[in-house]
Chains A and B, each alone.
Chain A
């Protein structure tokens, strides 16, 4: 059995990246995710697997290096935190339009602006509703443990290549900075050039015995651009159909439901412990994919519970998707803290009592 290790979420992500057979990491340091590149520099994967680890001159460069690497069919990634991820948005929109696979990690900190270095979840809208320009979606995975910071690297690449779509891991300063137990995934070799050519017939791998592969997000003819958009939308519907992931925590007999992702879900599980000690039957629905969102699951829950409470480290962003799903059939409350303040389990429970149970 693989050894159980104790490490930070950021460190686990870096270890998992090397083990996933990643070809290249391109980044620029920013708190609270700097341990990602620090760990990669310590691991020196270029000596073992040939993986490139490069500190670019800016976030904009880093995402465009990812764009280029992905166009060649390589497994590439970048990581940053909120202000840095904002800088990457143009590149992400291009990557989504060009239908290229890649992995992006956002270890969220408080905004807007340069904000604070403390944890936040206020990039939900940016992550699931677009962020860059145009009609596109990333597949968004929200880890809530250090183990998931490691496990979602492989899952992210699997989904990215399956749908030729950028995948975002939306983490936060708590999960990035916290140490807990983790079992790292087994090593996968980097793919050979032959494997890349066989698995990514669309990639710019050198025109030998086939027509040119052209990767671009530009289409000056509106009809062509609309067709691209229609193809993208059909893909997003397929993703919504097939890739919804969530965790149910004590929902079987629940009368009330906390909806929360990432570290907020951990806080809600604590609140459930306190609530159940008082005889309040509450559980947690933790969306693991934020896009696609577990809309159907919430609709199903709405037929049997008395109300929902969205707990977030934001002014209330995911709660809008909860309300859309519930569609007025049951009350939906919200409680959040901002600017790097983390809501406590006691506050979450109090909010449920005052807003929903009454």
Chain B
């Protein structure tokens, strides 16, 4: 098993932490993992993306041209990464702020209204967990309980009281994702 995933969006959307949670969960399942951020002069509103690879075998390059799963959370990221989904692969997008839907017919496209749902539920800060829950619904690359363990590991202890809200967001994310 080898899954090559990129998550891309604006800085501040929790893109890097989403990747981190996936990576920790993979680690706990005994996978080889790499987590490679497109690091830059990070700022809220700037672009951010992270490549996460989960594999049963040692991972060669931590950076790739094509991905099994692409998650895009803003229009520039969709424009950049839609062409880089492997044929038959998965593209997940949040329609919030998007000016178009994905055009490719040779991939599986999923829509998750995570921004709107999170806002409606007053859970804006767990936005990324809705997306992660959606991702795991369409391709369970890691087990849900490992994700919660991974989240616990990547969150400082003072934030552990937020774990239930994050779990709820993840489960909700699984409900609101739909195939186009």
Q: Which residues of A contact B (CB under 8 A)?
A: 4, 6, 31-32, 117-118, 173-174, 177-181, 263, 266-267, 269-270, 272-273, 342, 344-346
Interface string of B61-100 (1 = CB under 8 A from A): 1111100000000000000000000000000000000000
| CB within 8 Å: A-B pair count | 63
CB of B17, distance to nearest CB on chain A (Å): 12
CB of A216, distance to nearest CB on chain B (Å): 42
Known: A6-B27, A179-B23. A345 touches B61 (CB 8 A): yes
Interface residues of B in 9-58 (CB under 8 A from A): 20, 23-24, 27, 32-37, 39-41
Q: Which residues on the B side are within 8 Å of A117 (C-beta)?
A: 39-41
Question: Which one of B20, B32, B35 has the greatest number of beta carbons of chain A within 10 Å?
Answer: B35
B59 touches A180 (CB 8 A): yes
Question: Which one of A32, A118, A174, A180 has the greatest number of beta carbons of chain B within 10 Å?
Answer: A180
**Given A180-B59, A181-B33, 10 other A-B residues pairs in contact with their CB atoms under 8 A:** A117-B40, A178-B36, A179-B23, A180-B33, A181-B32, A266-B61, A266-B62, A342-B63, A344-B64, A345-B60
CB of A296, distance to nearest CB on chain B (Å): 26
Residue of A at shortest CB range from B32? Answer: A181
Q: Which residues on the B side are within 8 Å of A6 (C-beta)?
A: 23-24, 27, 33, 35
Q: Report the Cα distance A72→B122, complex, angstroms.
A: 60
B65 touches A266 (CB 8 A): no
Known: A32-B39, A117-B41. A179 touches B61 (CB 8 A): no
Q: Report the Cα distance A202→B109, complex, angstroms.
A: 68
Question: Which one of A6, A31, A270, A345 has the greatest number of beta carbons of chain B within 10 Å?
Answer: A6
A270 touches B60 (CB 8 A): yes
Residue of A at shortest CB range from B41? Answer: A117
Known: A174-B63, A344-B63, A346-B65. A181 touches B39 (CB 8 A): no
Q: Which residues on the A side are within 8 Å of B27 (C-beta)?
A: 4, 6, 181
Residue of B at shortest CB range from A5? Answer: B27
Residue of B at shortest CB range from A177? Answer: B39
Residue of B at shortest CB range from A179? Answer: B35
Residue of B at shortest CB range from A342? Answer: B63
Residue of A at shortest CB range from B31? Answer: A181
Q: Report the Cα distance A342→B59, complex, angstroms.
A: 17
B41 touches A178 (CB 8 A): no
Q: Which residues on the A side are within 8 Å of B37 (C-beta)?
A: 177
Q: Which residues on the B side are within 8 Å of A344 (C-beta)?
A: 63-65
Question: Which one of B33, B41, B62 has the greatest number of beta carbons of chain A within 10 Å?
Answer: B62
Residue of A at shortest CB range from B63? Answer: A342
A273 touches B60 (CB 8 A): yes
Q: Which residues on the A side are within 8 Å of B61 (C-beta)?
A: 266-267, 269-270, 345
7 closest A-B pairs by beta carbon, nearest first, are A269-B60, A270-B61, A179-B35, A270-B60, A267-B61, A178-B36, A180-B34
Q: Which of A32, A179, A273 contacts B34 (CB 8 A)?
A: A179
Q: Which residues on the B side are within 8 Å of A177 (C-beta)?
A: 36-37, 39
Q: Report the Cα distance A263→B59, complex, angstroms.
A: 12
Chain A to chain B contacts (Cβ below 8 Å), 29 pairs: A6-B35, A117-B40, A118-B40, A174-B36, A174-B62, A177-B36, A178-B62, A179-B20, A179-B23, A179-B35, A180-B32, A180-B33, A180-B34, A180-B35, A180-B62, A181-B32, A181-B33, A263-B62, A266-B60, A266-B62, A269-B60, A269-B61, A270-B60, A272-B60, A273-B60, A344-B64, A345-B61, A345-B65, A346-B65
Q: Which residues on the A side are within 8 Å of B32 (C-beta)?
A: 180-181
Q: Report the Cα distance A178→B64, complex, angstroms.
A: 14
Question: Which one of B27, B60, B65 has the greatest number of beta carbons of chain A within 10 Å?
Answer: B60
Q: Report the Cα distance A178→B37, complex, angstroms.
A: 7
Q: Which residues on the A side are within 8 Å of B63 (C-beta)?
A: 174, 267, 342, 344
Q: Which residues on the B side are within 8 Å of A178 (C-beta)?
A: 34-36, 62
Residue of B at shortest CB range from A345? Answer: B61
Q: Which residues on the A side are within 8 Å of B23 (C-beta)?
A: 6, 179
Question: Which one of A117, A179, A263 has the greatest number of beta carbons of chain B within 10 Å?
Answer: A179
Q: Report the Cα distance A249→B39, complex, angstroms.
A: 29
Residue of A at shortest CB range from B20? Answer: A179
Residue of B at shortest CB range from A340? Answer: B40
Q: Report the Cα distance A270→B24, complex, angstroms.
A: 23
CB of A349, distance to nearest CB on chain B (Å): 11
CB of A354, distance to nearest CB on chain B (Å): 18
Q: Report the Cα distance A342→B38, complex, angstroms.
A: 11
CB of B140, distance to nearest CB on chain A (Å): 20
Q: Which residues on the A side are within 8 Å of B65 (C-beta)?
A: 344-346
Q: Report the Cα distance A177→B20, complex, angstroms.
A: 13
